[in-house]
Amino acid sequence: MRSQRQTIAKSVAGKLFAAEEAIDIAAARIAELNAALPIARLDARFGAAIGQDALVSSASAVMLIAQTRQEIIATHANLKQTNDDVGLAEVSYGDLFKAEHRQQPADGRHLRAA
């Protein structure tokens, strides 16, 4: 059963890491767009009002992606807690995330090989 739980946890962790990466890439691309919009306006010698709505909506998108990133960070922490709660506290998920090795509670809920 522990092996099955570890396999499931690794699968979920892989999806979590992929989501975190996708959000960071999206944040970077939106930031690039935000930087390009005013430069494009200047290069084209358009008036300041040209493209203002696009700049505002793109800036709003960056705030939304920052909020989304905060939520996925909270999800990561919640999944780590869940991992600990089901007794997989000493499982490591690849090079990016190493679980801290902590003493298990002495209440007998978690069994470990010595």
| pLDDT for position 67 | 98
C-beta of residue 33 within 8 angstroms of C-beta of residue 58? yes
Give per-residue pLDDT as tens, 53-110: 999 999 999 999 999 999 999 999 999 998 888 888 655 555 555 555 445 555 555 5
| Contacts with 15 (C-beta within 8 Å, 6 or more apart), sequence order | none
Q: Is the pLDDT of residue 29 over 50?
A: yes
pLDDT score for 114 = 45
Question: Residue 98 in contact with residue 92, Cβ under 8 Å?
Answer: yes
CA–CA gap between residue 100 and residue 89 (Å, rounded): 8
d(CA 20, CA 28): 12
Looking at residue 88, what is its pLDDT? Answer: 81
Q: What is the per-residue pLDDT for 107?
A: 52
pLDDT at residue number 95: 52
Is 106 strand, coil or helix? coil
SS3 6: helix
Over residues 14-25, the pLDDT tens digits come to 999 999 999 999
User: Residue 92 is inside which H or E element, if any?
Assistant: none
